[in-house]
Amino acid sequence: MDLTLSPDQIAFRDELRAWLAANAPAPITRGAHESLPQRFEKLRAWQRRLHDAGWAGVAWPKAYGGRGASLIEQVIFLEEMARAQAPPMANTLGLGLIGPTIIHFGNEDQKRRFLPKILSAEEIWCQGFSEPNAGSDVAAIRTEARLDGDAFIVNGHKVWNSYGWIADWCALVVRTDPSAAKHKGLTYILVDMKSPGVEVRPIRQISGESEFAELYFKDVRVPAANVLGKVNQGWEVALGTLMHERATLGASITILYRRSFDRLVELTRQIRRNGRPLSEDPLTRQKLAQAYTELEVFRLNQMRAVSRVSSTGVPGPEGSILKIFWSEFNQRFQQTAQEILGPYGMLEEGSPHSVDDGAWSYGFLRTRGNTIEAGTSEIQRNIIGHFVLGLPKSY
């Protein structure tokens, strides 16, 4: 066990730290006069600046616009972003899930075509897995693709597609062989969202906003060259994406958590109850210390997982503990925040007296989705039970 950084890694960290100190913008959070698209464009501009300075895709190969460093540098990158309280990058799914899947399964043309624009935020990605009748049971999807010359014709309906409203590209899982067994007839294909026949309908979610959408595909022509991996072997590719989703989505989210925690501590110094600041109230201190403990244990789990992946190559089923941990922690943390803020915690964006312009009431509602997106907590526990602990499959 050795957590010391090599001289190169230290140089990387120091250079990044200095760059962030000079360049990181103010937090890009919810504000009364900014719409979701306006905020998104700010995040995109921020990603572009990171990219121009060579900080996007730290662990991606140089040939495709990355920095060619190791996963360790990637972790340093995330920790320094958190430290600097810098906003996250815009292209969440492209960077965290789909890019790594393309790196692993893509051919040379696909890598050259897609990866650089993920890093520059020129092309935003969404993930088209879930359908109205296939959520946890992803392999039950029905959206079909029929080969017609050098293209597939796609017909079907996807739901809950985060970033669907802005995405330029979609990583789509489709059924190419309806006669094959459930997992055997699937294909993973990359679809240009501007193709004729793609329709995006926003879905209004619990928080009132529309961060996800549903996608309708009507006779959409997708070049066969856009198949990632092999035809009818899409399940393996999709699993690759799901493993990355479990293992890495939390990493970018950690940046936000640490910032929220620090902000909450700051608020406890300002809020007075029983004639003293809440930061001096023993019960509040207990709650904050508990939240800090869980946040820290999550960070360490993550560090340990990365260290394992850098020696074994791919994230394994133990990534499920990361997914359960960050999502359930975040729900507990938002509840703690609500207890600390009292009735002010429920005030929404634009309301008089709202705290941080409604960030906390939004956060409270938004975290309900954490234990559903990227594989529900129940599915993650099934994965641990069966694939890690070797218990019989429960269904």
Q: How far is the CB of 285 from another protein (least distance, A)?
A: 4
Nearer to ligand FAD, 45 or 203 (CB): 203
266 has catalytic annotation: no
Alpha-carbon torsion angle 105, 108, 113, 118, nearest 10: 50
Binding flag, residue 394, another protein (CB under 8 A): yes
Which amino acid, residue 204? R
Stretch that binds another protein, among 77-85, 108-116, 214-222, 287-295 (CB under 8 A): 287-295
Binding flag, residue 373, ligand FAD (CB under 6 A): yes
Query: Strand pairing partners for 200?
Result: 215
Q: Give dist(CA 21, CA 324) in Å, integer.
A: 33
Nearer to ligand FAD, 120 or 127 (CB): 127
Q: Quick one: how far is CA 307 from the chain centroid? A: 20
Residue of the chain from 47, 101, 130, 302 that contacts ligand FAD (CB under 6 A): 130
Binding flag, residue 21, another protein (CB under 8 A): no
Binding flag, residue 136, ligand FAD (CB under 6 A): yes
Binding flag, residue 385, ligand FAD (CB under 6 A): no
Nearer to another protein, 180 or 283 (CB): 283
Nearer to another protein, 179 or 312 (CB): 312
245 HSE (CA, 13 A, CB side) = 19
Q: Which of residues 177-216 bind ligand FAD (CB under 6 A)?
A: 212
Residue 3 binding: pick among ligand FAD, another protein, none (C-beta 5-8 Å cut-off by kind): another protein
Q: Can you say whether the dihedral through the CA atoms of 357, 359, 360, 362 is positive or negative? A: positive
Structure tokens at 313: 């190559």
Q: Can you say whether the dihedral through the CA atoms of 110, 116, 119, 122 is positive or negative? A: negative
Q: Which of residues 38-77 bind another protein (CB under 8 A)?
A: 72, 75
Structure tokens at 69: 């460093």
DSSP string spanning 66-105? S----HHHHHHHHHHHHHTTPPPPS-HHIIIIIHHHHHHH
Residue of the chain from 135, 197, 223, 277 that contacts ligand FAD (CB under 6 A): 135
Nearer to another protein, 270 or 290 (CB): 290
Beta pairing, strands 212-223 & 276-277: unpaired
Binding flag, residue 162, ligand FAD (CB under 6 A): yes
Q: Which of 339, 332, 359 is nearest to 278 (CA)?
A: 339
Structure tokens at 270: 């300002």
Which amino acid, residue 394? S
Residue tagged active-site, from 144, 211, 245, 294? 245
Binding flag, residue 378, another protein (CB under 8 A): yes
Enzyme catalytic residues: 245
**Interface ranges with another protein (CB under 8 A):** 1-5, 9, 72, 75, 265, 268, 279, 282, 285-286, 288-290, 292-294, 296-298, 300-301, 303-304, 306-308, 311, 318, 320-321, 324-325, 378, 380-382, 384-386, 388-395
